Structure 1
């Protein structure tokens, strides 16, 4: 899953793809690099980010979704707003990637149920403004699993079918570096919930602890570490990884598949 941030304030690319035509071209580039899915987002969810209105979010993402879907690209839209989800699905999006797992908008699960598209339910606590203060766990793996199960139950109650659901542990969302590594080391526990897993580690701050100190604060310097996480996540059975730079991660996924095929 290649990322297209149609935002002026993303932590990873600082508005590089904010222009509509540039964003569309970047989506095409990610597909050419080997992306199976292009994930389009119109609102930054970095810690401390300010919310934008659903109308502004939709204005940013809709033309990008329409253009890429017309070309046959499998498009995911990163949104917590049911109104945005309904509009982008109508425009051709095949996946709704909700980082709030349905907590931000009570209408989201029912909207996705009616649309029949894939629904990524991510673990989260709080909002981008408050989530860092909520990174408190006795057992992060057990608690994330339990909280994801609660969100799945809520989705079921709204009519979402099992075959629509993908789970995401929400690396970096109300989690410190230790929590993120613990979750990655125990992807099998998350997979045991019975749903495909999406892993989104790309360029996140917790990777700064494993890259050269001189460049640790530069998000782009974390791409090699991201590729290593991709290989390990693929080996552990993740359904998909969400990344900024696709080519190396696509290679890593193929290496993991070849490795597994000989075991």
Structure 2
């Protein structure tokens, strides 16, 4: 899954793809690099980000979704708003990626249920402007698995079919850097839930912290690609359904390596 942030304030590439034509071309470039899905979002969810209104979110993303879908690209819409999801689906999107896991807008699961498209339900405790105050866990893996399971059950109760559900443990959302590493070390606890797993660690702050220089200066976001590819390998090895990244080329290679190793271990040739 390649990322197109049509925002001025995303942590990694805010402002680069605000023009619809540039954003569409970037999405096509991501496909050329190996992305199977292009995830289009118009609202930043970086820690501390403030929300925009639905009209602005729609203004940013609908031309991009329409343009990419017109080129035959499978598009997911990264939104927490049901109205935005509906409009994006009408414009050609084929998947909803809701970082609130259906909790920011109670109607989102209804939209997924009636449309029949897959929906990514991410573990979520609160909006970006306050989520890093919500990092208290008794056991981060157990608690996130439990809470995410509750979000899935809420979606199913709203009419979403089990085969529509994709889960995301929410790396970087209401989690400290150390907690992110603990979650990554225990991805099998999430695949055990029985739903396809999305892993989204690309360029995130905890990688910048790991790669910080001797003065403590974080590695810049656009210089975290090698670390991102390493996480992609870990995710693929754990059986993730999809890896969400800003630059797909190295991750696509990592996934191919894991697939080849898996074929070897299973005694078959690719």
* The two structures share one fold, judged by TM-score above 0.5: yes
What residue is the counterpart of 2:268 in the other structure?
none
**Per-residue CA distance 1:206-263 (angstroms, 9 max, x = gap):** 0123325266341011111000000111011000010001100000000010011111
Indicate the SS of the match to 2:224.
Answer: helix
Gaps of 5+ in 1: none
CA contact (8 A) 2:123 2:168 kept: yes
2:256 to 250, 254, 257: 254
CA contact (8 A) 1:20 1:60 kept: yes
What residue is the counterpart of 1:30 in the other structure?
30
What residue is the counterpart of 1:193 in the other structure?
193
What residue is the counterpart of 1:234 in the other structure?
236
CA contact (8 A) 1:47 1:131 kept: yes
What residue is the counterpart of 2:78 in the other structure?
78
Indicate the SS of the match to 1:28.
Answer: helix
Q: In terms of mean alpha carbon deviation, does 228-237 or 202-211 score higher?
A: 202-211
Q: In terms of mean alpha carbon deviation, does 35-44 or 214-223 score higher?
A: 214-223
CA contact (8 A) 2:49 2:129 kept: yes
Provide the C-alpha distance between the structure 2 equivalents of 1:129 and 1:147, rounded to a whole number of angstroms: 20
Paired positions, count: 263
Indicate the SS of the match to 1:213.
Answer: coil
What residue is the counterpart of 1:10 in the other structure?
10
Tell me how far 1:79 sits from its aligned partner.
0.1
CA contact (8 A) 1:210 1:225 kept: no
What residue is the counterpart of 1:159 in the other structure?
159
Provide the C-alpha distance between the structure 1 equivalents of 2:238 and 2:209, rounded to a whole number of angstroms: 22
Indicate the SS of the match to 2:143.
Answer: helix
CA contact (8 A) 1:74 1:94 kept: yes
TM-score under structure 1 length normalisation: 0.98
- 1:123-134 alignment to 2 at 5 Å? 123-134=123-134
